[in-house]
Structure 1
């Protein structure tokens, strides 16, 4: 019998009944498929946060890694995260750990029974990745335009020559990354969770 966990998410502006609907729907799904629900994780979140700052998501990942969970059940893909990048990072990390995500409204899983990427889910994820790429491209273009206008008006950008961050400043800025390093997460998984470069994570190793 497959061991699964349920993950639910609502905006902080919604009531607790939304949790109940998602959880009840997924419990029925699990019962129909003879899956054993080992745990339920639910978060109420407002505003965009890094995955590493999402307590319930991180608790779920810790639980999965220590309880041999086969699947994560969600009612829809957006329940894994508020924005596309969060969703893609979470799915990729779970896939690498051979944990499949079952998306109820599409009735598909991210992995096959052999633990390989499901082609249909990969198609969906590829579309989402392209959307995320376009969003990041738009942001970069806006930032570049702002920098250009700033320079045109005599402004200077960049750090002062010889500037380096102190260890204390690094600890404050990368507190979540350091916490994950101490817990033994791989650099690749932390990079996917936090969107922090692997080179930066290597530099943080001496602070753990």
Structure 2
């Protein structure tokens, strides 16, 4: 039976449009071979510094998924989902939450089974990616801790001043993207996956709505 699918393509902002065409053409051929109906194509050109919430095409695609009966997305390779491991994992997780499977062409696997459960083979690859991301974050934390310690050793003081707290307006400005997603009805967990903002912080933000 035919299935509706979306195509998602991505290149960095320094590349030309030809890469879009190659990805899209390859995925359209893949869809045709499997009798999948391509409902829409989303292609983005973004810099490596962009957060998931700042990726217009990704957010448009998620909105499209939520308003249409879509359960499969096609990408040529895993790296097309984000600029780094953590961003890729966040994207996969938010789609898993919505029971949307990602077909990764170069691995010829899907992230979910036909029943909507996590595919064990893809989970193995994702687990490796998660471990790499954990190691990257651990290295960053160690560097930050070392910098703080060096600062303290030289007489510096860190932390907020006693009695300091952010005003509501400051919170709204600092977490504008989170507020936008919460107002659109995204769950705390989904917004947390998209933005890396903690659930506790999101609860505080939601209270400002």
Normalising to structure 1: TM-score of the pair?
0.99
Per the TM alignment, residue 48 of structure 1 is displaced from its structure 2 partner at its CA by 2.3
**Per-residue deviation, 1:207:** 2.3
**1:137 aligned residue:** 138
Flag as ranges the 4+ runs of structure 1 deviating above 2 A: none
The alignment's C-alpha RMSD in Å is 0.7
Q: CA deviation at 1:152?
A: 0.3
- Whether 1:2 aligns to 2:7 is no
SS at match of 2:137: helix
Separation of aligned partners in 2, 1:48 and 1:136: 16
Deviation track 1:91-130 (CA, whole Å, cap 9, x = no partner) reads 0111121100000000000001111110000000000000
Match of 1:31 in 2: 32
Shift of 1:12: 0.8
Query: 1:1-208, aligned counterparts within 5 Å?
Result: 1-208=2-209
User: What SS is found at the alignment partner of 1:38?
Assistant: strand
Structure 1: distance between partners of 2:19 and 2:50: 21
Contact 1:4 1:39 in 2 (8 A): yes
The structural deviation recorded for 1:206 is 2.5
Unaligned runs of at least 5 residues, structure 1: none
What is the alpha-carbon distance in structure 2 between the residues aligned to residue 52 and residue 12 of structure 1?
17
What is the TM-score when the length of structure 2 is the normalising length? 0.98
Give the number of equivalent residue pairs: 208
